[in-house]
Amino acid sequence: MRFYNNLTISQKQIVWAWIFLALPVLFYVVIRFYPTANAFVLSFQEWNLLGDRKYVGLENYAKLFSDPVFWKVFKNTFMYLILGTPVSLVLSFIIAYHLDKVRFMHGTIRALYFLPFMTSAVAMAWVWRWFYQPVPIGVFNNFLASFGISQIEFLSSTTNALPSVLACAVWAGLGFQVIIFMAGLRAIPQSYYEAARIDGVSTWTVLTEITIPLLKPTIVFLVVFSSIGFLRIFDQVFNMTTNNPGGPLNSTKPLVLLIYDTAFNGFNMGYAAAQTVVLFTILLVVSLIQLRLLKDS
Amino acid sequence: MASQDIAVKPSTDALFSGSSRNSRRNMGQFIRWALLFGGGILMIMPIVFMVSTSLKFPFEVYNLNLIPEEPTIENYTYVLEDGRFYRWFVNSLVISIITTASAVFFDALVGYALCKFKFPGRYLVFIAILSTLMIPTEMLVIPWYLMSKSFGWLDTYWGIMFPGVMTAFGTFLMKQFFETVPDDFLEAARIDGLNEFQIWWQVAMPLVRPALAALAIFVFLGNWTAFIWPLIVTNSVEMYTLPVGLSSFGDEVDVAWELIMTGAAISTLPTLVVFLIFQRFIIRGVVMAGLKG
Amino acid sequence: MKRNRLRTFMLGAATAAMTMAAGTGGASAVEIEYWQYFFEARVDAMDKLIENFEAANPDITVKMTHFPYDSYRTKVAAAIPAGQGPDVVQLFYGWLNDYVEAELIQPLPADTFPPEKIEEEFFPMVKAMRMGDSYWALPTAVRSLALFYNERMFEEAGIENPPANLDELVETAKKLTKKDGAGNLTAVGLTTGMTAQDHHWIREVLIRQFGGEPYLDDYKTVNYNNEAGLKAFGFYNDLQAKHGVTKAAFMDEPQAAFKAGRAGMHIDGSFRIGALESVRGLKWGVAELPAGPDGTKSNYSSYWVNAITSKAEGEKFDAAVKFMEYLTSDEAMQIWLETVGELPAKPSAAMTDENVNHPVYGPFIKGLEYAKTTVFANESAQRQAMVDMMQRIELQGQALEESVAQAAEEEQKILDEYYKK
């Protein structure tokens, strides 16, 4: 105790930080970092899950980078990110911002937006698959047909399939982002708004000068987290293209689906680990760039 | 709940005077409400469809009509009559509740430490924890399985729970929300003689209650729907969680979609209850923050 | 070698222990564990088999564990190498190679399961389970393909009999196809979809019927990039492109279209019977697959096999062998047929008059006599090569010859990689 009392304030902070972090750090090292390290080692090996592991050097990586399917998948993965993150963030912000100002049936409306996030991805993907069917079955195409618009191939087209799958993913994740934005909006101390009210500034100014700057931590979180989410997209693609995973002609296949396929259909664990390492690197680089760009000045 | 909402809202109406402006405002408010409500209804259409399919006989499933010609609750009785269903339900509930409590506690603790303490290696620890989001679960399952086997955790609640007792997602979320807590508050508490743990628990935590509530909802949901790890770690049917149990409506070549929809509808209900409970806190937390701020 | 000696030792020890136990008056029970994937009928059937087996062998108990199909393979692959899991395990025939190579299963003892006797008793495609001098696994039941047809649509179109050959198949399909005013298909004459069973139909049936042989060299060399292959794929492609009697992935999945009464004919496996029976209001019949231009008949068979894992030693091994013996008996096969609807793996159990003339099982059982079993290195990847082949033609307008050549190359690559070890 005396030892503790002799410490400077900043030294005390360090001590407390590690008291807070001791157990969690142990947890992360054993439960998370160890298996991750394992995947890194595995990426230099050949292993079919059943037999022995065998070192093959860089062979897995060489194979990966010379595989045209990988580059296609690489491109798809970034398409999900580039289209998905901005669209879902803008939509969810608009919804959260307005929902925040609505009183009548507020809780009910919020629940409506959140429900898709709570429902089983398998069940929902099936419903969406049927929505996308051609006439006479598909809901969307029937709708278009009733306006005399010729039908659109959604999931069976190499160009439309990815946005179609993405729409389902954005839909499913929207509620999550709305809730986080709501929590962020509600965490802004009211005193700021009161001050603004006294000054009589316009709604637009309040939005751009107070709300958005004060939401920055929330926005940083959502940008980084949903980017990770879109780069790791799997459930919706897997379940919506269940008969032809990632198809047609690999046009919807993201990296995680490639990993899944290599690991659990091909049982080529080393190759899957190499793909995992590539995914890890992409995610880390993208997250670090985003954190740097969004850093408070 | 409505009364809280009103208490929370800054009464912007006071800004405006004059009845014509007021009615135009009311019109605007109504349009805003109608658009949000309409959007909400669109959002749940696929879910309405799911419920409708769960009320159909197999022969009608592919007719894709919204209102079943011959509605039936046969699928529900089939799923609920299976005695194992209740066991799976309880398993999922126990696991989700414990994991949620643990994750909310630890994620807030770590998030706070990473946000409010200045210490060397802080950014590194943060990035390291964040980086655990970047490995797909599928690749972690095998090492976890071997680990569980050597510790004797296979087929136990702890075995199912351990990967989720802390989450990088929650840590990151809480760290961001603690950033909105002014340092002055903490400093004042420090001068009052509270130790750091007390400051965190008694001063900082109540201020981020909306985020804690959101986190609780997400962690509960994540555990409630977790599939691949519970599947791998359990051996006996009695230890299955709900998603693992419900997944047995499909086999090699065929899937009974009406049963999948039924299972999905049933398992959505508890999450809805949890959501409705916790979403109140998203509001109440703000009342407190508002008062203190 | 070392393991064998160990086993002999263990066997001796076990026998000694049993004699001692018998001497003191109580038979000690051996418990063996059995794994399969969960499907209600399969679990029910296995419960019955276990009950019968335990009644006949009071000193052995069998504990069955089952997992959802979705990840059964992963589960088994994770558990067995970790020393967990079953003594007797149900595996898909296509996985056998990996399990043999990793020494996770052991050969069936030649004294109880002499290879010559197996080859005499079982349908010929079971030969795929032989490696070297011994059999490593055996099925209780097998599946084959047949043509399902919608009786109501046949009646409406005035069709009397299901098509007997490929020309009739096209003609019949034309009569069954329905279109709306805008020319959109509302019902297909014949379902197609490479993602379902069609890739099997092409590989083992159409290619052979057009005079080819899909693979050479024990399924290690692709052999369909030739005249017969092109004819087979051309015939299949023409169904949609030329005759317009079908659309790939119409109603998402072929079986969905058939269940919904929007498909006149549908080629599928015997495993579909149960699901179709539960569709009220659908009247359907089954026929043998249409014969080829020169009358050639062929079929594809797949099956799940039971194998003894290397974990089973000593008295557990003996018990496992006894259990395997029962699982491959005529009695077990008949129970499996009645409960699950999968076909017996031995002609002696399958080709009874009652089974052959059965309106539903009959056509499938007849198919077993000339069925082939593809040895896959990676079934989903090899299937994907064919899925992509047809989609390149349909979506990207690639020429048939080019697309087939590309698919053959891709599939050969998968095979080469797998067998290079």
Q: Which pLDDT tens digit goes with each residue over C241-263? A: 999 999 988 888 888 899 989 99
Confidence of residue A12 (pLDDT cuts 50, 70, 90): confident
Mutation target among B31, B43, B262 for the A interface, most CBs of A within 10 A: B43
Say whether A28 and B128 touch across the interface (CB within 8 A). yes
Q: Is residue B68 part of a domain?
A: no
Say whether B264 and A123 touch across the interface (CB within 8 A). yes
Say whether A276 and B139 touch across the interface (CB within 8 A). yes
Cβ(A110)–Cβ(B279) under 8 Å? yes
Residues 6+ apart with CB under 8 A from B105: none
pLDDT tens across B211-241, in order?
899 899 999 999 998 888 998 888 888 899 9
Confidence of residue B19 (pLDDT cuts 50, 70, 90): low
pLDDT tens across A121-152, in order?
888 888 898 899 887 778 888 888 888 888 88
Question: Could you tell me what percent of chain B has a pLDDT over 70?
Answer: 87
Cβ–Cβ contact A220 with B under 8 A: yes
Question: Do B46 and B163 fall within a single domain?
Answer: no
Name the residue range of residue B44's domain.
Answer: 12-63
pLDDT tens across A266-292, in order?
888 999 999 999 999 999 999 999 999
Determine the pLDDT at residue B245. Answer: 84
Separation in Å, CA of C257 to nearest CA in chain A: 11
Amino acid at C257: A
Cβ(A174)–Cβ(A114) under 8 Å? no
Confidence of residue B139 (pLDDT cuts 50, 70, 90): confident
Closest CA to C46 of C373, C355, C277, C342: C342
Question: Do B271 and B246 fall within a single domain?
Answer: yes
Residues of C in contact with B146 (CB under 8 A): 82
Cβ(A122)–Cβ(B260) under 8 Å? yes
Closest CA to B101 of B155, B153, B160, B167: B167
Mean pLDDT for chain C? 88
Other CB atoms within 10 Å distance of the CB of residue C416: 13
Name the residue range of residue A209's domain.
Answer: 64-293
Separation in Å, CA of B226 to nearest CA in chain C: 14
Q: Is residue A119 part of a domain?
A: yes
Q: From the list A98, A186, A200, which residue is nearest B285 (CB)?
A: A186
Local structure of residue C380 (DSSP, 8 states): H
Residue A297 has pLDDT above 70, yes or no: no
Q: From the list A49, A134, A249, which residue is nearest C395 (CB)?
A: A249
C304, containing H or E segment: strand C299-309
Determine the pLDDT at residue C11. Answer: 42
Least confident segment among A98-107, A213-222, B246-255: B246-255
d(CA A174, CA C29) in angstroms, rounded, equals 58
Strands in chain A per DSSP E: 45-46, 54-55
CB environment B239-267: b (16+ within 10 A), e (fewer): bbbbbbbbbbbbbbbbbbbbbbbbbbbbb
Which CATH number covers residue A221?
1.10.3720.10
Say whether B260 and A123 touch across the interface (CB within 8 A). yes
d(CA C304, CA C288) in angstroms, rounded, equals 22
- By a Cβ cutoff of 8 Å, what residues of chain C touch chain A? 71, 73-74, 77-78, 80-81, 98-99, 101-104, 180, 182, 184, 186, 193, 195-196, 248-249, 251-253, 378, 380-381, 384, 387-388, 391-392, 395-396
Q: Is residue B6 part of a domain?
A: no
Question: Do B117 and B229 fall within a single domain?
Answer: yes
Chain A CA closest to residue B261: A123
Question: Do B37 and B80 fall within a single domain?
Answer: no
Confidence of residue C22 (pLDDT cuts 50, 70, 90): very low
Confidence of residue C20 (pLDDT cuts 50, 70, 90): very low
C312 Ramachandran zone, left/alpha/beta (phi>0; psi -120 to 50): beta
Residue C24 has pLDDT above 70, yes or no: no
Cβ–Cβ contact A253 with C under 8 A: no
Residue B16 has pLDDT above 80, yes or no: no
pTM across the whole model: 0.87
Q: Is residue A156 part of a domain?
A: yes
Angle value at C-alpha A181, between A177 and A187, nearest 5 degrees = 150
Structural domain count, chain A: 1
Question: Do B86 and B169 fall within a single domain?
Answer: yes
Residues of C in contact with B238 (CB under 8 A): none
Mean pLDDT of C107-116: 94
Least confident segment among A22-31, B130-139, C11-20: C11-20
Residue A163 has pLDDT above 90, yes or no: yes
Residues of A in contact with B165 (CB under 8 A): 27
pLDDT tens across C345-354, in order?
999 999 999 9
Determine the pLDDT at residue B250. Answer: 66
Residue C16 has pLDDT above 90, yes or no: no
Q: Is residue A279 part of a domain?
A: yes
Q: Is residue B4 part of a domain?
A: no
d(CA A292, CA C12) in angstroms, rounded, equals 70
Question: Do B132 and B243 fall within a single domain?
Answer: yes
Question: Do B190 and B264 fall within a single domain?
Answer: yes
* Nearest-10 Cα torsion for C311, C314, C315, C320: 40
Specify burial of residue C189 (Cβ count, 10 A radius: 0-12, 13-18, 19+). Answer: buried
Confidence of residue C421 (pLDDT cuts 50, 70, 90): low
Determine the pLDDT at residue C203. Answer: 95
Helices within C86-216 (DSSP H only): 96-101, 115-121, 151-156, 166-176, 199-200, 207-209
Residues 6+ apart with CB under 8 A from B220: B96, B97, B100, B271, B274
Mean pLDDT of B148-153: 90
Q: Is residue A240 part of a domain?
A: yes
Mean pLDDT for chain A? 90
Confidence of residue A295 (pLDDT cuts 50, 70, 90): confident
Closest CA to C156 of C265, C264, C277, C287: C264
Q: From the list B32, B143, B267, which residue is nearest A102 (CB)?
A: B32
d(CA C164, CA C292) in angstroms, rounded, equals 9
pLDDT tens across B77-94, in order?
988 887 788 899 999 999
* Neighbouring chains to C with at least 3 Cβ pairs closer than 8 Å: A, B
Mean pLDDT for chain B? 84
Residue B255 has pLDDT above 80, yes or no: no
Which residues pair with residue C269 across a beta bridge?
A: C145
Structure tokens at C63: 């504990």
Determine the pLDDT at residue B42. Answer: 93
Which residues pair with residue C130 across a beta bridge?
A: C135
Mean pLDDT of C403-415: 96
Residue B179 has pLDDT above 80, yes or no: yes
Residues of B in contact with C83 (CB under 8 A): 149
Cβ–Cβ contact A69 with C under 8 A: no
Question: Do B189 and B280 fall within a single domain?
Answer: yes
Question: Do B116 and B257 fall within a single domain?
Answer: yes
Residues of A in contact with C407 (CB under 8 A): none
Separation in Å, CA of B43 to nearest CA in chain C: 23
Structural domain count, chain B: 2
Residue B9 has pLDDT above 90, yes or no: no
Q: Is residue A249 part of a domain?
A: yes
Determine the pLDDT at residue B182. Answer: 86
d(CA B9, CA B283) in angstroms, rounded, equals 10
Choose the final residue of a domain: B44, B63, B82.
B63
Q: Is residue B1 part of a domain?
A: no
* Nearest-10 Cα torsion for B13, B18, B23, B28: -50
Closest CA to A180 of A236, A126, A113: A113
Question: Do B58 and B79 fall within a single domain?
Answer: no
Determine the pLDDT at residue C68. Answer: 83
Say whether C395 and A50 touch across the interface (CB within 8 A). no
pLDDT tens across C182-196, in order?
778 889 999 998 888
Mutation target among B117, B147, B186 for the A interface, most CBs of A within 10 A: B117
pLDDT tens across B262-275, in order?
988 998 888 889 88
pLDDT tens across C132-149, in order?
889 999 999 999 999 999
Domains of chain C, each with CATH number or no CATH: 2-143+302-361 (3.40.190.10), 144-300+373-419 (3.40.190.10)
Q: Is residue A168 part of a domain?
A: yes
Say whether C252 and A130 touch across the interface (CB within 8 A). yes
Q: Is residue A47 part of a domain?
A: no
Q: Is residue B223 part of a domain?
A: yes
Question: Do B171 and B255 fall within a single domain?
Answer: yes
d(CA A257, CA A246) in angstroms, rounded, equals 7
Separation in Å, CA of A236 to nearest CA in chain B: 14
Question: Do B115 and B205 fall within a single domain?
Answer: yes
